[in-house]
Structure 1
Amino acid sequence: MIFRDFLRALAQLPERRFRRVLMLGIGLTLLLLAAISVLFLIGVQTLVPDELDLPLIGTVEGITALASWGAVGGMFVLSIFLMVPVASVFTGFFLEQVASAVEAKHYPYLPAAPGLGTYESIKDAVNFLCVLMVVNGAALVIGLVFPPSLPFIFWLVNGWLLGREYFTMAAGRRIGLSAARALRRKHRGQIFAAGVLMAIPLSVPFVSLVIPVLGAATFTHLYHRVTGTRPRD
């Protein structure tokens, strides 16, 4: 059943409304990461001296240039780590558009969803970003200590996080966040399994950027399925 939800979401990906959210999410993500990289590079060039006097070695020049190149490489690696959580948060801002597109095609008989307020959406998205980065940071440290476990830790941790967040948002737009959290606890097994299904492709560069949109659509289907709402097709 979960795979059916995912395949329905995947089949709808080429649609204009899905493409628009995908492009917005990726564009805003790249813009934010580029801005952070520029600020970090400016900070390095401002704070790091161009030459140092070292005992027994003498004056070493070009420190700023070396540190700048190191900063560029470090930010590139860090951007790979940050791209998915940031893209997930930005896509969360446009969840309503993805869920509406899913319902317009598969559940056209439903009344319009009340939706989440702007303040609630932003607050939830920011909280999600903080939790996502902290938990992934901790998982990365554990994975570096036990390298063979890194992929499994990544999948399990992000499966739990993505399932928790996207189901709550998909359900919350119709029944409110409190009721959505209660429903999430009732179906935690299915939600976790669907989250892991979303998390596994996160390991694949570039493919991972599509996952936030597919996740929003998949969990919209999952919400309607567990509440007994049947799709038209």
Structure 2
Amino acid sequence: MLVESATAALRQTFSPPLRAILWKSLGLTLGLLVLLWLGLTRLVQAFQASHHISAQYPILDSLAYYLAGFGLFVVLAYLMPAISILVAGFFLDDAAAIVERTDFPNDPPGRPMPLGTAMFYAVRFAGVTLLVNLAALVIFFVPVIGIAAFFGANAYLLAREYFEMAAARFRPLPEAAEMRRTFAVRTLSAGCLMSAMMIVPILNLLTPLFGIALMVHLHKRLSGRRQLAAPVPR
């Protein structure tokens, strides 16, 4: 079941409709990162000017500026997956609808989340992902334990958020959460697959769209088509 769902999700991720959403979300993500980098570098320059470092130690000033710029680049590269998840979160309902329409054309379509709920989910998930990954980063370099913590935390978070988001298009949120717990082994296995993608640079940017496509397929297969005859009204 997981292999079939993952294969279908990968195909959908590179299909023209989802590819358009991918480019849109990546463009917004890069735009936000550039704005953050520019803002932070201006803060570094203002700090140096306020302490008169440029006048007293011009060589040290230049060195500090470039070191700070490199440090900010590393930090923003680390934040990129979380920011891409936040940005892509606003498009995931559209992506789920595309997957349902193209891969399950004979099934009734799901109902999108209200805009406020979708925004809350996107911001909450991005925030929790960032906090968990920052905590995991502290022990990342501890042999075995660090990598296991990073992998396990992301697997759980990705499984929980993406499955419930896909399921909530057809059932109330409490029921979606209960369904995830009922099929914990299968949903967590899917989360492990997504977590593996998160570890790989560049590939981790595909995680949001791949994840929602994967969970749409997994939810359909776990539910059975008869149970999806009447999506829950909003």
- Regarding TM over 0.5, the answer is yes
Q: CA deviation at 1:21?
A: 1.2
Question: How many residues are matched?
Answer: 224
Superposed counterparts of 1:93-112, under 5 Å: 93-112=90-109
Unaligned stretches of 5+ in structure 1? Answer: 54-58
AA at the equivalent of 2:68: A
Tell whether 2:23 aligns with 1:27: no
Q: CA deviation at 1:174?
A: 1.9
The 1:52/1:68 distance shift into structure 2, 3 A limit, reads: closer
Q: Could you tell me whether the CA contact under 8 Å between 2:13 and 2:213 is conserved in 1? A: no
Matched residues in 2 for 1:26 and 1:73: separation? 22
Q: Could you tell me whether the CA contact under 8 Å between 1:201 and 1:211 is conserved in 2? A: yes
Q: CA deviation at 1:147?
A: 3.9
Partner of 1:173: 169
Tell whether 2:224 aligns with 1:222: no
Q: Secondary structure at the match of 2:167?
A: helix
Q: Could you tell me whether the CA contact under 8 Å between 1:50 and 1:62 is conserved in 2? A: no
Superposed counterparts of 1:191-210, under 5 Å: 191-210=187-206
Superposed CA RMSD in Å reads 1.8
AA at the equivalent of 1:189: V
Q: CA deviation at 1:229?
A: 2.9
Higher RCO, Cα 8 Å, sep 6+ = 2
Q: CA deviation at 1:178?
A: 2.2
Partner of 2:154: 158
The 1:136/1:115 distance shift into structure 2, 3 A limit, reads: same
Tell whether 2:211 aligns with 1:211: no
Matched residues in 2 for 1:174 and 1:71: separation? 48
Q: Could you tell me whether the CA contact under 8 Å between 1:45 and 1:64 is conserved in 2? A: no
Match of 1:139 among 136, 141, 165: 136
Partner of 1:37: 37
Q: CA deviation at 1:66?
A: 2.5
Matched residues in 1 for 2:210 and 2:14: separation? 11
Q: CA deviation at 1:52?
A: 7.9
